[in-house]
Structure 1
């Protein structure tokens, strides 16, 4: 039998846990709303850029230049691949990070990729802790998951430069995508070279006059497209992170309430047992006096 004082101490500690988990849940909800609003705007902007880009690429008079464009063709014979992994800085977010790590293990064990032909860049401390010492790491300037627009622009230009200079044959993004309101999916998406097969439906078939020429316009538009795509990926990953943390804190709060309820029942039983024992002692004492 537990001591009532010890049970009461445990109840107080559970109450502090409930306050913490509820606070973290509310913080995740507020951050999630902000990120979702920003993600909606970025998606609209990216759709417009994709439409303009594809209209330019599939004009009849400019189609012949597409096969020679450095952004759309695999250049060089190098097999080195770069994987950009989006994880969180903190834990307490359910299976958000573990699903990413499982996908990385799947790449090497199931797909048969060679570790010497893969380089990783982690956005987030948890991913860095998992990858560092196990795999080859890219120039790791951004470990923390605080992607500002200037950092994204500098990273995009650096990735484009390395791809054009044939340091990497392909660049992939590994991140969690919120498939439904409470269901997330881990995705491996090709970043470079650009794949157009899935985007052909977005063409509006508007034939424009290009000034000064297609090549200069594409050199200006494609980096902007890649920069926006990287930002959208980061926002989708952050949305999935806050959703996963919100769900985890909600479940933790419910479990804490259940534990508190059980402790209160045990406390009342122990207290009732102690009172009954004292009453019996008093009665036995009074009977012995008689």
Structure 2
């Protein structure tokens, strides 16, 4: 049997655990509020830049200038490229205690690797998040050469510089395909792991957008050349798209951590109640034992 002193220590440790989990839960709540404000602004900007970008593509195609799009290398026309090199950008957390958030990303990467025989020559990995770096180093996967430089300090400035380096390597044929593996929030409580092509952009998607009339009605009048404007707008579009994806991943991470800490707090309260019940039982047993000893002592004196 555990004595009262040991049970009391466990109750005190449960109180400390409850304070810690509740504090971590409140930190995630505050961060989620800040992220919600950022998402509102970036979603508005992303919608507008997408409209401009879509209208530029449709206008270019309307003027029968499809060869111009093919020569930019940004669009996917040939699905059967040989010896293609693929970069996977995975978005993970810097810290743990967020449920299955990181595990779902790692499981998706393992599934991709297991379905491919010759990944060592063709696949590169880049992680935004320390947990992802630890996973890639442990599995000995090929790392993208900017991983150590930018993953440990993923602020807006580094992300924008990173996307410039990725686009540069893409245009120089060092990378043929770029995918993003990240989690998005669903129904305010569950996260879904997405596996999305970032570059090249699938040209056929713009035909679907045209059917939905998600473009401006009038054409643009450009002061600069079409090529110059196109290079600027597509890089801006890709930067905002990556920043939006990172914000969605952060939102899913903090929501997952908030739910995990809430469940941990509830479990800690249940364990504390059981410990208090055991403590009271041990206390009553000790009192009863002392009473019996006193009564037996009196009886022996008589």
| TM-score normalised according to structure 2 size | 0.91
- Residue correspondence of structure 1 range 90-239 to structure 2 within 5 A: 90-110=95-115, 114-133=119-138, 134-139=140-145, 140=147, 141-144=149-152, 146-198=153-205, 200=209, 201=212, 202-239=214-251
State how far apart, in whole Å, the 2-side matches of 1:113 and 1:22 are: 46
How far is 1:232 from its partner? 0.7
**1:71 equivalent in structure 2:** 74
State how far apart, in whole Å, the 2-side matches of 1:70 and 1:79 are: 14
State how far apart, in whole Å, the 1-side matches of 2:205 and 2:259 are: 32
Query: Which structure 2 residue ranges, 5 or more long, are not aligned?
Result: none
Q: Which runs of 4+ in 1 moved over 6 A?
A: none
How far is 1:48 from its partner? 0.6
Asked if the contact 2:28/2:255 (under 8 Å) is kept, the reply is yes
How far is 1:77 from its partner? 4.6
How far is 1:190 from its partner? 0.9
**1:281 equivalent in structure 2:** 293
State how far apart, in whole Å, the 2-side matches of 1:163 and 1:179 are: 32
Query: Which structure 1 residue ranges, 5 or more long, are not aligned?
Result: none
Q: Deviations over 1:225-245 (max 9, x none)?
A: 111011111111111110111
**2:29 equivalent in structure 1:** 29
Asked if the contact 1:86/1:127 (under 8 Å) is kept, the reply is yes
**1:12 equivalent in structure 2:** 12
How far is 1:2 from its partner? 1.3
RMSD: 1.7
How far is 1:252 from its partner? 0.5
Asked if the contact 1:100/1:174 (under 8 Å) is kept, the reply is yes
